[in-house]
Amino acid sequence: MGTHQAVGDEPVSRIERKRGRRIQEILTAAAELFGERGYAAVSLEDVAERLDVTKGSLYYYFASKDALGTAAIETLGNEWTSRLENLPAARAGSPADRLRALLREHTTIAVREYPAALGLFLVPREWPQDQKERIKELRGRHDGLFRRVVEEGVATGEFRVTDVGTVLQCMHASMSQAPVWCEGLGGTALDEAIDRLADTLMMLVVREP
């Protein structure tokens, strides 16, 4: 049975496109749920219910819960990174402007669209060993984005940092927790909170006049 390639590269036939779309739906639902409650606390029944299908159907697309989990993270990570990569404000301007844009966008996505899914990257503790590797890879690519900007700022003398790696870790950790702090906030208050976070994190690369 031609099953379980899951996240293939390019769907070709109409039927495969449909399959690809279905997979995306599943992954989206799964990512949301895993993010909301954590991997262990989500059952396939939960995922199936959100999609209005039966548990069994999921196995047509994914070989196991673990496989679904891995793929969900992967999809999520890729989409996220792509959005940051394609953010216009992050591609031009001074390193400071670009970094702030990245920080704001990243936090906004976290808080607005995947209010919980960020925990997935942050807390690989509860994931099976297999997935941990995958997650680290994804984070690598993700971090690369920020790293390039920071290093460029350092190179141009615009930034001054204690240690690039540590700074990036702090940024990531802080943004990942944003959905938790911001729980319950909305509208303007939320925007302001995001701004405050970005401003605060910019302090980590600050170069005083």
Partner DNA sequence: TATGAATGAGGCTTCATTCAT
Partner DNA sequence: CATGAATGAAGCCTCATTCAT
Q: Which is nearer to a copy of itself, 82 or 200 (CB)?
A: 200
CB of 121 to a copy of itself, least distance (A): 11
92 binds, among DNA, a copy of itself, none (CB under 5 to 8 A by kind): none
Binding partner at 65 among a copy of itself, DNA, none, C-beta below 5 to 8 Å by kind = DNA
Give the residue, chosen from 12, 89, 155, 180, that forms a contact with a copy of itself under the rule CB under 8 A: 180
Q: Under the criterion CB under 8 A, does residue 96 sit at the interface with a copy of itself?
A: no
Choose among a copy of itself, DNA, none what residue 132 binds, the Cβ cut-off being 5 to 8 Å by kind.
none
- Interface pick for a copy of itself out of 7, 20, 38, 108 (rule CB under 8 A): 38
121 binds, among a copy of itself, DNA, none (CB under 5 to 8 A by kind): none
Q: Which two tokens stand for residue 37?
A: 């409650």
Q: Considering CB distances under 5 to 8 angstroms, the limit depending on partner class, which of DNA, a copy of itself, none binds residue 122?
A: a copy of itself
Q: Cα dihedral sign for 141, 147, 151, 153?
A: positive
Q: Looking at residues 17 to 36 of the shown chain, list those that interact with a copy of itself (rule: CB under 8 A).
A: 35-36
Map the chain to HEC letters.
CCCCCCCCCCCCCHHHHHHHHHHHHHHHHHHHHHHHHCCCCCCHHHHHHHHCCCHHHHHHHCCCHHHHHHHHHHHHHHHHHHHHHCCHHHCCCCHHHHHHHHHHHHHHHHHHHCCCCCHHHHCHHHCCHHHHHHHHHHHHHHHHHHHHHHHHHHHHCCCCCCCHHHHHHHHHHHHHHHHHHHCCCCHHHHHHHHHHHHHHHHHHHCCCC
Residues of this chain that bind a copy of itself (CB under 8 A): 1, 35-41, 48-49, 54, 116, 119, 122-126, 161-163, 166-167, 169-170, 172-174, 176-177, 180-181, 193, 196-197, 199-201, 203-204, 206, 208
